[in-house]
Amino acid sequence: MNKDIATPGRTKEILKKYDFLFKKSLGQNFLIDSNILRRITETAELDKDTDVIEIGPGIGALTEHLARTSKRVLAFEIDQRLMSILPDTLAAYDNVEIVNEDILKVDVGEMIATKLPNREQPVKVVANLPYYVTTPIILQLLHEDLPVSSMTFMLQKEVADRISAKPGTKAYGSLSIAIQYYMEAELSFIVPKTVFMPQPNVDSAIIHLKRRQEPPAEVNNIDFFFDITRSSFAQRRKTLWNNLVNRFPELKAKKETLEPALAELGIDVKRRGETLTIPEFAILSNFLDDFMRK
């Protein structure tokens, strides 16, 4: 088996060979610990029938572990400079294809259909995400109707905490709901900042997102539901009612009608948004959507 890329010595050797300089604007931090990479592939539950999408392969440290444990790897790399390095570092693996594209500007569904045909099971996404585009990437992948069964990401620990947070906690918010509506979210393990080159300022975490068979609640208007959840956390210290009125001023004059009607459904408008579960937000959203259409 080839010598792992993810060691301090091998990484420095590759960087020196290609005179590669890290671009801060791309959030480049390369992993230099193979044990962490093995744990990531275990968390992702890969096997030789699994096709994997990777985002931001860097010099291929995670990519080679994905190649060893899965059927095919389709990796998206935005940095043109790495397109001459990756064919060298991944030369031993014939099941990897690198695409020089920004994942946010690509039709991922079409890419899967053309680059990963004849799939035996849904695709899995595994990536060490740059901190600055973590949320847009995850949300875009969720909102496109993709044949993806799970996503395993390394990201900033604070963001992982927010994604996996439960109601009633400080980390719980609209991002938690936006992702947990579609996926079961589990923070798998912490990755210390010391295992990266260059070393970031904060620790990272591995989060595993598994697609739900059914959403946790029935929502009549999904766009309105997410509008309601975002609005409910606009100012965390304000009550649900105050946040909703800021977003929908027309509700203010109807408080006398709305407050008892929502109370009957189990929603006290004096609560704060962070105390509501996804099913409770669904009740609120469905009621207000119907009420505002009348």
Binding residues: 29, 31, 56, 77, 102, 128
| Rounded Cα distance, 123 and 53, in Å | 7
Give 9's DSSP letter: H
| Rounded Cα distance, 51 and 119, in Å | 7
User: What values do phi and psi take at 161, rounded to 5?
Assistant: -60, -40
User: What values do phi and psi take at 115, rounded to 5?
Assistant: -90, -25
Counting beta carbons within 10 angstroms of the beta carbon of residue 291, is it exposed (0 to 12), middle (13 to 18) or buried (19 or more)? middle
Mark the binding-site residues for S-adenosyl-L-methionine, compressed into ranges.
Answer: 29, 31, 56, 77, 102, 128
CA angle 282, 288, 290 (to 5 degrees): 100
